[in-house]
Amino acid sequence: MQPKKNEKADLSRNSSLYFVIGLSVILLISWKAIEWRTYEKVYAYEALNVEDEDDEEIPITEQLKTPPPPPPPPPPAPEVIEVVEDEEEVEETVIESTETNDDEIIEVEEVEIEEEFEDVDVPFAVIEDVPIFPGCENVAKSERRNCFQDQMNKHIRKNFRYPEIAQEMGIQGRVYVNFIIAKDGSISNVRMRGPDKNLEKEAQRIISKLPTMTPGKQRGRPVRVPFSIPITFRLQ
């Protein structure tokens, strides 16, 4: 008896594919079974019974109109009116005419008019005669402004001293100094503005050593002249 099974047929060749297909089908059926939901159908009918409400009878009321109050009576008239006679005599003032005849000669005294000169500050840039720094007396008038600037810079370089505490702390910057050259040539109203108080004190010390100058003049009269200059403190 010959076997009916084909020796070349390999039944286990596609077994893995069939296993995956079967597993997928089982998972799909399981997921559908888990997600399956049922709802109960409820049929209800509600009706609203509206009954006729009894109408309320609103009583009719009358509004009573009150008359306005009567006006107040007029004030009573004075009983007796006294008449006072004007017995005082009034002196009339006589105004004499200020017009003069052609024959009269009026002498008018000469009046001296003093020119008023306001005490104002005249800036250094616009003053007519700039203050004269000691050493610029013999310089021409047109060059005195530049001579003043040069002498001021020499004075700052000569008296300059960097504060030790500012050097240790690494403080540097520019201090703006404003002061006024008074009518007598002295220095007043010194003000400073800088990054550190120690630098401001040093700038004030330098300005306080300025010599007395010849005051600036406007229209030939001494005036106060404000001046400003920056002092730079820089660490090497």
Q: What pLDDT sits at residue 111?
A: 53
∠ CA(8), CA(9), CA(13), 5° rounding?
A: 120
Q: Domains of the chain: which residue ranges?
A: 141-233
pLDDT tens digits for 14-52?
A: 778 888 898 899 999 999 888 887 666 554 545 445 555
Residue 214, beta-bridge partner list:
132
Q: What are phi and psi of 199, to 5 degrees?
A: -70, -35
Q: What pLDDT sits at residue 141?
A: 86
Mean predicted confidence (pLDDT) in 121-128: 89
**Residue 12 pLDDT greater than 80, yes or no:** no
Q: What pLDDT sits at residue 47?
A: 47
pLDDT tens digits for 133-186?
A: 998 988 888 898 999 999 999 999 999 999 989 888 898 899 999 999 999 999
Cα–Cα distance for residue pair 147/131, rounded to 1 Å: 10
List of E strands, 39-160: none
pLDDT tens digits for 94-113?
A: 555 555 555 555 565 665 54
174 close to 230: Cβ distance less than 8 angstroms: yes
Which of the pair, 189 or 2, is modelled with greater confidence?
189
CATH of 141-233, one of 3.40.50, 2.60.120, 1.10.150, 3.30.1150: 3.30.1150
- Looking only at Cα atoms, what is the longest distance across the chain? 188
pTM over 0.85: no
Nearest partner of 231 among 209, 202, 189, judged by Cα:
202
